[in-house]
Chain A
Amino acid sequence: MVRVTEPTLHGTAPAHGGDRIAHTEATVIGTSPIEKSGLDPGSIDSELLTINMGPHHPATHGVLRLLVSLEGEVVRDLKPIMGYVHTGIEKSCEDKNYWKVIPFVERMDYISYYFQMQAYCGAVEQLLELEIPERAKYLRVIHLELNRIHSHLVWLGTSALDLGAMSMFFYCFRERDRILDMFEMSSGQRMHTRYFQVGGVFEDIPVGFAEKVRAFCDEMPSRIDQYEALLTRNEIFLQRTKGIGIVPRERLLDLGVTGPLLRAAGEPWDLRKADPYLSYADHDFSIPVGTVGDGWDRYRVRIQEMRESVKIVRQAIDGLPEGPWIADDRKVVLPPRHELSTSMESLIHHFKLVTEGFRVAPGEVYHPIEGPRGELGCFVVADGSAKPARVHFRDSSFVNLQCLRDMCLDEYVADMIQNLAMLDPILGGIDR
């Protein structure tokens, strides 16, 4: 086995004390091409240079540290080191009542914040066996799909910036500001809106929101055409992404990769279609599937997903049903404010909900949804009190990161940047 010595900041002693289990040195997982080629690792032709990339680097999407073993310019081994933005969110959630967890889990994957809210609120609603009204489902879908477009725009802007196409960054952020305007209209905040509540959404949408969304949906397809005009047939972009970073579909499934990466490799797996939740069954949209699974396919899949999301938003805002925007169960949902001055029970419910929070009967649930990067699952254990006993997020970037090594092996180090960009990792989700 080829040994890759790993420079750590504070020595190499393992954390668990060293005598309980065998000291595990850093070893290459699986057979590296060096072994397969039969070259003697000590000979001068096969000298490996280990360099450290990150955690502070202009090209990593967040603070990801990569230990790369290079032979010349070819990557022979890759080890990602994470944890530089680990915030202990899952531990903090055990200390807060169910509502207060929502702002915490929003900030995990900080670009697709509505998805974390949906995964968590969906899990808690399943534990409470609470049905949310139709209007809430449609509103949630509108915001989720707008957030999906937002996530793909940020991805496109920053990835194109990594590859050198600086103008894409400005175009994508221009559109992103329009989406954030809509979020600000419905909830008052641009990012981390805490708009979803257990039982529905926090507040109904204001007057003018529907017009703004419709105007956005009318204009967005032409903007996406603009992005495609810049990149899709661009010779440099094609040369950089075509045929690079291919991982076979079975290997991706073994590694647990989901989302656009899996769809680009040809597997038509999307939880919105396979196991519809909220109001996705009512909308007519398709999921783009690639063929080869290289960087080019991943780019095309995400661009097309943006178009499909625009379609979903348009259908949802056109078909938005009237009705309550949050469930009626006063034990879980705040009563409307005008009732507080007339009804004693409402006052008591309000008081109990705000001070202690609602209690959830003991049980555990795993609620997966389709996030912009793949399957985002929330595991909640309830122990009968007003605080969850365990909140864990199966974050899609964390699991997808395992395929980075497969993508980059035996390719040039410049392609590693491109692979990292096409992988779309968000370190907040990876590190939690």
Chain B
Amino acid sequence: MAARMPDAPGLELIAGELNEAHPGSVLETYHDRGQACLIVDPDQVLGVLGWLRETPGQEYRFLASLHAADYLPAEPRFGVHYELLNMARVERLRVRAALADPGDDALPEIDSCAEMFPTADFQEREVYDFFGIVFRGHPDLRRILMPEEYVGWPQRRDFPIGGEPVIFTNTENQVPRWYE
């Protein structure tokens, strides 16, 4: 029922070949419940994606999705996920670039793959908008869904969810109204 992904030995083979072509790129492999993921070094992510795209036998030419997740408190904090798809074999592979938070107001940076996969244009902007991850080389990195001058990175785990407290009749006196 699930999407077909390389099995565990297949994943290890891919990781091995990738480490030969780009030494030090694959930090770990993750295979659980049918999901195959390569955890790569963010500085070499373009090499990894290019290798996976061009190498005969791999040829994951379709970037189905580019998204990020905040794994706070685990380190490295951010993971930028690239969901790759090979349409001929109907096989998917996930590449996660494990990006650390530089701390202190600096924004984490990673290379943009918008030239290799034009579909990444809006999706990288969305990741920037919600996590503050800067994609070097992106033609037009601006906020996409939040207002242009919004301050803060909403989908980081330490960003508050916002909203208002719900006022019940018996707490009406304690919660100040908007006209007060």
The answer to whether A and B touch in the complex, with CB atoms under 8 Å apart, is: yes
**A residues engaging B (CB < 8 A)?**
8-11, 13-16, 20-21, 24, 26-27, 29, 82-83, 86, 88, 90-92, 94-95, 122, 126-127, 129, 253-257, 269, 274-275, 277-278, 363-368, 375, 377, 379, 381, 389-390, 392, 394, 398-399, 401-402, 431-432
A366 to B92, CA, bound (A): 10
Contact present for B117 and A256 (CB under 8 Å) = yes
Contact present for B145 and A394 (CB under 8 Å) = no
Q: Which residues of A contact B33 (CB under 8 A)?
A: 126-127, 129, 363, 365
A365 to B145, CA, bound (A): 24
Contact present for A10 and B122 (CB under 8 Å) = no
A399 to B121, CA, bound (A): 9
- B window 47-102: CB within 8 A of A: 61-65, 67, 69-71, 81, 83, 87, 90, 92, 94
Contact present for B149 and A10 (CB under 8 Å) = yes
Known: A11-B149, A277-B1. A20 touches B122 (CB 8 A): no
Residue of A whose beta carbon sits closest to that of B155: A91
Contact present for B107 and A375 (CB under 8 Å) = no
State whether the Cβ of B35 lies closer than 8 Å to any Cβ in chain A. yes
Q: Which of B63, B94, B155 contacts A256 (CB 8 A)?
A: B63
Contact present for A392 and B140 (CB under 8 Å) = no
State whether the Cβ of B147 lies closer than 8 Å to any Cβ in chain A. yes
Q: Which residues of A contact B4 (CB under 8 A)?
A: 275
Q: Which residues of B contact A364 (CB under 8 A)?
A: 35, 37, 69
State whether the Cβ of B3 lies closer than 8 Å to any Cβ in chain A. yes
Contact present for A29 and B121 (CB under 8 Å) = yes
Residue of B whose beta carbon sits closest to that of A369: B3
Interface centre among A26, A95, A377 (most CB of B within 10 A): A377
Give the number of chain B interface residues (Cβ < 8 Å).
Answer: 55
Known: A10-B149, A366-B83, A402-B118. A394 touches B64 (CB 8 A): yes
State whether the Cβ of B148 lies closer than 8 Å to any Cβ in chain A. yes
21 pairs, CB–CB < 8 Å, chain A vs chain B: A9-B148, A13-B149, A15-B148, A20-B134, A21-B134, A29-B121, A29-B139, A83-B143, A83-B146, A91-B154, A94-B157, A126-B33, A254-B119, A255-B118, A256-B62, A256-B63, A274-B87, A363-B35, A367-B2, A375-B64, A392-B67
Q: Which of A10, A15, A27, A278 contacts B139 (CB 8 A)?
A: A27
How far is the CB of A430 from the nearest CB of chain B, in Å?
8
Q: Which of B35, B70, B150 contacts A390 (CB 8 A)?
A: B70
Q: Which of A92, A126, A255, A432 contacts B145 (CB 8 A)?
A: A432
Q: Which of A91, A366, A367, A399 contacts B123 (CB 8 A)?
A: A399
A86 to B155, CA, bound (A): 13
Known: A16-B132, A127-B33. A8 touches B148 (CB 8 A): yes
A431 to B142, CA, bound (A): 15
State whether the Cβ of B32 lies closer than 8 Å to any Cβ in chain A. yes
State whether the Cβ of B161 lies closer than 8 Å to any Cβ in chain A. yes
State whether the Cβ of B9 lies closer than 8 Å to any Cβ in chain A. no
Contact present for B2 and A91 (CB under 8 Å) = no
How far is the CB of B93 from the nearest CB of chain A, in Å?
10
Q: Which of B87, B119, B155 contacts A255 (CB 8 A)?
A: B119
State whether the Cβ of B8 lies closer than 8 Å to any Cβ in chain A. no
A398 to B125, CA, bound (A): 12
Contact present for A24 and B140 (CB under 8 Å) = yes
Q: Which residues of A contact B70 (CB under 8 A)?
A: 390
Contact present for B83 and A377 (CB under 8 Å) = yes
Contact present for B148 and A10 (CB under 8 Å) = yes
Chain B 140-179 near chain A by CB (<8 Å), digits 1 or 0: 1111111111110011010101100000000000000000
Q: Which residues of A contact B140 (CB under 8 A)?
A: 24, 26-27, 29
Q: Which residues of A contact B157 (CB under 8 A)?
A: 94, 389
How far is the CB of B173 from the nearest CB of chain A, in Å?
27
Q: Which of B37, B90, B143 contacts A15 (CB 8 A)?
A: B143
Known: A126-B33, A402-B119. A275 touches B161 (CB 8 A): no
The 5 closest A-B pairs by CB, nearest first: A256-B119, A394-B65, A83-B145, A390-B69, A86-B145
Contact present for B35 and A366 (CB under 8 Å) = yes
Contact present for B94 and A366 (CB under 8 Å) = yes
A346 to B139, CA, bound (A): 57
Chain B 1-45 near chain A by CB (<8 Å), digits 1 or 0: 111100000000000000000000000000011110100000000
Contact present for B67 and A394 (CB under 8 Å) = yes
Contact present for A256 and B139 (CB under 8 Å) = no
A83 to B140, CA, bound (A): 16
Contact present for B65 and A377 (CB under 8 Å) = yes
Q: Which residues of B contact A274 (CB under 8 A)?
A: 87, 90
Contact present for A381 and B3 (CB under 8 Å) = no
Contact present for B161 and A92 (CB under 8 Å) = yes
A392 to B161, CA, bound (A): 16
Known: A379-B81, A394-B64. A83 touches B144 (CB 8 A): yes
Residue of B whose beta carbon sits closest to that of A22: B141
Q: Which residues of A contact B132 (CB under 8 A)?
A: 16
Contact present for B162 and A88 (CB under 8 Å) = yes
How far is the CB of A248 from the nearest CB of chain B, in Å?
13
Known: A366-B3, A401-B122. A389 touches B69 (CB 8 A): yes
How far is the CB of A392 from the nearest CB of chain B, in Å?
5
A299 to B71, CA, bound (A): 43
